[in-house]
């Protein structure tokens, strides 16, 4: 005789979405769906819990589109996204009370202030008998689990990379749940009321030409990259003129795609390419993914990474205060084309190629001697992928003040960097159209070009395009002298 099916539990389970705005490979969502409980999919706009860094403007724009896309894919499964605003602890306490939820599920986050909020939420609701389950879905290697042989956190990338690559391979990604029961009668705020996207003026409208937010777009982009540009990633990733990198960073930042999905896509691509080998490119791409892990590891152990020098000797560094130079840098008007092209790409698209980020950041810090924190804050506000770990860790790396940092005395020459990585000048021509008539051998240093070449290209320095705001040789000497000063003080 067949037994009757057990009744499905009626008290809901809440899935608290944060930096994991996807339905595939979302362990918290999968667990809630699998519990058989009706599910409440929740996003909390928390601008009040102490310590959380307020989002920048570009990031708020991305968040709006990402939430809309998540809501759409949940609705295809019969579930709407519930939006609430306020300190997470209060919002979740209220929602568990009002819905009678029996459990709350989330994927762990690793920004220390966020993790502290999560701990407080867990303690609060567990004390009221609500079950809490948390999952690893946003990092391949959790910082709590990775340490040196002596039990210390890693502070150097290469041993970190070697260590994590010797661990068990990251788990395979989960598909999106086929079926999710929806809890009824849960009120949601309206996304438009949050005004995450700018209006009057809508300076972000231009981003739509370059980006499609949401999980579906992220998955398409990953598939295209794995089948295409990945093969030449090792050779071409430093060239900003073409689409040689994945451009997945904002999608990863918001968790529209998981690092597990990337890891395994690269692995499949490597196998599918055989007998042709794309091993060097696949390894390089994996090591970039591991840089992301390393940055999160650093932030976990150094919560004030965005405001405090990792190396305290930099606390005495003689930074200059120069508003005019900072403004010229932000606007892409330094007179050095590769720097200006990068800063204009950032303003126009919310993204900048990694090689150019390195050159532009180095220029601010070393040529202008402006505190890396000023640059970090500008990137934080303007980058769509602005990340609490990747952004400060990379800025400190460039400054020389960070963990495993570039040596301070290695000062990029922006002209040589341009000539090396944008040899034909196509990147500069795209972002600085007023220089587009210059030949390749003049485009990275218009200030050294003969007057006839400038005239033929319609370039008048100081009028159609700025003259350099600093001389490279002078700036280099000044930077080295400043570094010597902190070295002397620490001897």
Let me know if 291 is a catalytic residue.
yes
Alpha helices in 22-56 (DSSP H): 27-34
d(CA 474, CA 290): 37
Give the H/E segment covering residue 42. Answer: strand 39-45
Q: Can residue 358 be called a binding residue for ligand FAD (CB under 6 A)?
A: yes
- Closest approach of Cβ 259 to ligand FAD, in Å? 8
Q: Can residue 232 be called a binding residue for ligand FAD (CB under 6 A)?
A: no
Q: Can residue 226 be called a binding residue for ligand FAD (CB under 6 A)?
A: no
Q: Can residue 66 be called a binding residue for ligand FAD (CB under 6 A)?
A: no
Of 447, 469, 444, nearest to 368 (Cα)? 469
Q: Can residue 368 be called a binding residue for ligand FAD (CB under 6 A)?
A: no
Tokens of 260: 């597990």
* Binding-site string for ligand FAD from residue 394 to residue 433, where x marks contact by CB under 6 A and - marks none: xx--x-----------------------------------
Q: Which stretch binds ligand FAD (CB under 6 A): 139-147, 173-181, 242-250, 330-338?
A: 242-250
Of 279, 378, 386, nearest to 61 (Cα)? 386
Q: How many CA atoms lie within 13 A of 164 on its CB side?
A: 26
Radius of gyration over alpha carbons of the chain, in Å? 25
Let me know if 395 is a catalytic residue.
yes
- The phi, psi pair for 132, rounded to 5°, reads -125, 130
Q: Can residue 253 be called a binding residue for ligand FAD (CB under 6 A)?
A: yes
Of these, 60, 237, 444, 478, which contacts ligand FAD (CB under 6 A)? 237
Let me know if 106 is a catalytic residue.
no
Of these, 29, 164, 278, 386, which contacts ligand FAD (CB under 6 A)? 386
d(CA 380, CA 103): 35
Cβ-based neighbours of 109, under 8 Å, separated by 6 or more: 18, 19, 115, 118, 138
Q: Which stretch binds ligand FAD (CB under 6 A): 22-30, 186-194, 284-292, 424-432?
A: 284-292
Report 1-60 residues binding ligand FAD (CB under 6 A): none
d(CA 73, CA 178): 12
Which residue out of 189, 291, 333, 347 is catalytically annotated? 291
- Active-site residues, by number, are 288, 291, 319, 354, 372, 395
Chain residues binding ligand FAD by CB under 6 A are: 237, 245-249, 252-253, 288-289, 291-292, 295, 354, 357-358, 361, 379, 383, 385-387, 390-391, 394-395, 398
């Amino acid at each position: 005789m067949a037994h009757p099916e057990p009744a499905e539990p009626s008290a809901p389970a809440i899935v608290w979405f944060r930096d994991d705005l996807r339905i595939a490979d979302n362990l918290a969502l999968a667990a809630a769906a699998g519990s058989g409980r009706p599910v409440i999919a929740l996003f909390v706009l928390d601008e009040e819990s102490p310590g959380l860094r307020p989002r920048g403007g570009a990031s708020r724009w991305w968040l709006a589109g990402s939430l809309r896309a998540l809501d759409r894919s949940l609705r295809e499964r019969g579930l709407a996204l519930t939006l609430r605003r306020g300190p997470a602890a209060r919002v979740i306490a209220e929602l568990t009370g009002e819905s009678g939820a029996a459990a709350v599920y989330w994927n762990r986050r690793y920004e220390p202030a966020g993790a502290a909020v999560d701990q407080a939420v867990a303690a609060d609701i567990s004390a009221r008998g609500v079950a809490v389950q948390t999952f690893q879905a946003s990092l391949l290697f959790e910082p709590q689990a990775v340490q040196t042989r002596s039990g210390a956190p890693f502070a150097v990338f290469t041993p970190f990379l070697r260590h994590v690559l010797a661990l068990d391979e990251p788990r395979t990604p989960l598909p999106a749940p086929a079926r999710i029961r929806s809890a009824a009668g849960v009120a949601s705020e309206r996304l438009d009321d949050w005004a995450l996207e700018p209006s009057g003026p809508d300076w972000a409208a231009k981003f739509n030409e370059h980006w499609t937010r949401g999980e579906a777009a992220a998955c398409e982009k990953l598939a295209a990259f794995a089948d295409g540009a990945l093969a030449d990633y090792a050779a071409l990733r430093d060239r900003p003129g073409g689409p040689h990198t994945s451009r997945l960073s904002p999608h990863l930042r918001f968790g529209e795609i998981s690092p597990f999905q990337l890891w395994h896509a690269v692995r499949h691509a490597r196998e599918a390419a055989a007998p042709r080998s794309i091993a060097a490119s696949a390894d390089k791409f994996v090591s970039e993914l591991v840089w992301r892990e390393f940055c999160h590891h650093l932030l976990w152990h150094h919560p004030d990474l965005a405001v405090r020098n990792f190396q305290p000797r930099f606390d005495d560094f003689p930074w200059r205060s120069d508003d005019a130079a900072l403004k010229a840098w932000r606007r892409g008007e330094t007179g050095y084309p590769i720097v200006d092209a990068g800063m204009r790409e950032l303003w126009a698209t919310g993204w900048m190629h990694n090689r150019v980020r390195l050159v532009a950041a180095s220029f601010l810090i070393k040529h202008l001697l402006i505190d890396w924190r000023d640059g970090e804050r500008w990137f934080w506000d303007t980058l769509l992928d602005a990340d609490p770990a990747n952004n400060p860790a990379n800025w400190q790396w460039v400054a020389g003040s960070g963990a495993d940092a570039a040596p301070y005395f290695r000062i990029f020459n922006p002209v040589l960097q341009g000539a090396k990585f944008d040899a034909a000048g196509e990147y500069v021509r795209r972002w600085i159209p007023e220089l587009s008539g210059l030949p390749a051998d003049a485009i990275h240093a218009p200030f050294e070009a003969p007057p006839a070449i400038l005239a033929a290209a319609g370039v008048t320095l100081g009028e159609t395009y700025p003259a350099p705001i600093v001389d490279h040789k002078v700036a280099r000497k000044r930077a080295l002298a400043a570094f010597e000063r902190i070295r002397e003080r620490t001897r």
